[in-house]
Homo-oligomer: A and B are copies of this chain.
Amino acid sequence: MLFNEIVEHLKKGQSGVVDFKIKNNPIILSAASLEKAKRNDITFLDNNSQLSLRNLIKTSEAYALLLPANDNYIVELSKKLEVDWILLKDPKIAFAETLEFLYPSEIEIEGIHESAVIGENVKIGPGVSIGANVFIGDNTEIGAGTIIHAGVAIYKKVTIGAKNIVHANSVIHSGSKLGNECVINANAVIGGEGFGFVPTSNGWKKMPQVGIVILKDKVEIGSGSTVDRPAVGETIIGEDTKIDNLVQIGHGVTIGKGCAIAAQVGIAGGVKIGNGVILAGQVGVSNKVIVGDRVIASSKSGITSNIDSGKVVSGFPAIPNKLWLRCSANFKKLPDIAKAIRELDRRSFR
């Protein structure tokens, strides 16, 4: 692909082309990170990168660069570069659009494989692909263009919309409803029974879990993640919310739109999470807690009580991030603090 083709592609996209230089118009064969880019590669420098990374553009072997237009140092530097470049409002979006253009996704499977086992009264839309050894239970519906990879097990009465991708060996339980353009990664489990047991004098009494899981449009669920169904009602994950690997979503949880939930987060039963929330890796959220819109929780936080919209929290139990940073800094000084107190005690009147 020639560099000017990429320029034309990006002009039609969302990254905001501000300026560009086509001089060598090189053939671009692949894309790479700035640290690893070689000849015939295109690469990018993100907005607000560190100086050490920004200086790499002087020495990079890459044939073409996607650069931040809002960075005066880079804009000046670009004038002296031999290679071709594009200045952009958002070079990272440009890189994403370039990857889509350079590496168009190929259809991995086509049609319905003869080894797939499909139940009674299953409705399959046009252009659906179903891989080898898939099982689909009775009365399930699969919308147009959805791709079900090998070994997936879908129970009865599941509704799956259009253009979903369900990766290998994942499991979708009865009654689950998926919107459109969702991605279920490999070995994820959607709609497993919630963890509900009531203590009795004869041991645990199981609370039947007759609710369902609803994933709205453009939800993505990471590999090995689990989303439980509740006793009654629904577990709901809002539109465009992205969930990483090995995340646990408990029964009856409601998550809003546009959230990002990193790997190994655990969200206990009945939690309500607003829109645009970001939970970093290994965060935990306790039963029935309410987390407001746009809350950010840093990694390993434990959210044990309600958090107002817009807050940034850290630690366990989670407290405001700035306070936590100061507390953590002092935690490291605890031996000194204890020593200072002994010293003060010695010096003070008794």
Contacts and interface: CB of A to CB of B under 8 A. Distances in A.
Contact of A337 (B135, B218, B304, B338): B338
Contacts of A334: 326-327, 330-331
B169 A187 contact: yes
Nearest to A283: B282
Interface string A145-188: 00001110101100000000001111101100000000001110
Contacts of A347: 348-350
A36 B150 contact: no
Contact of A193 (B131, B185, B330, B333): B185
Contacts of A248: 244-246, 263-264, 281
A143 interface: no
A167 B156 contact: no
Nearest to A263: B248
Given A117-B132, A133-B135, A326-B334, A222 B195 contact: yes
A193 B132 CA distance: 21
B186 A192 contact: yes
Contact of A208 (B99, B168, B228, B317): B99
A65 interface: no
Contacts of A4: none
Contacts of A186: 153, 171, 173, 189, 192
A284 interface: yes
A345 B350 contact: no
A328 interface: yes
B168 A168 contact: no
B169 A203 contact: no
A278 to B, nearest CB: 10
Interface string A308-323: 0000000011010001
Size bin of chain A's contact surface: 35 or more
Given A33-B233, A207-B99, A153 B135 contact: no
Nearest to A151: B153
B300 A319 contact: no
A179 to B, nearest CB: 14
B150 A153 contact: yes
Interface in A226-265: 226, 228, 231-233, 240, 242, 244-246, 248, 250, 252, 257-258, 260, 262-264
A55 interface: no
Contacts of A340: 341, 345
Contacts of A6: none
Contacts of A350: 347
8 contacts: A14-B201, A96-B206, A99-B208, A187-B187, A195-B245, A226-B263, A286-B299, A348-B348
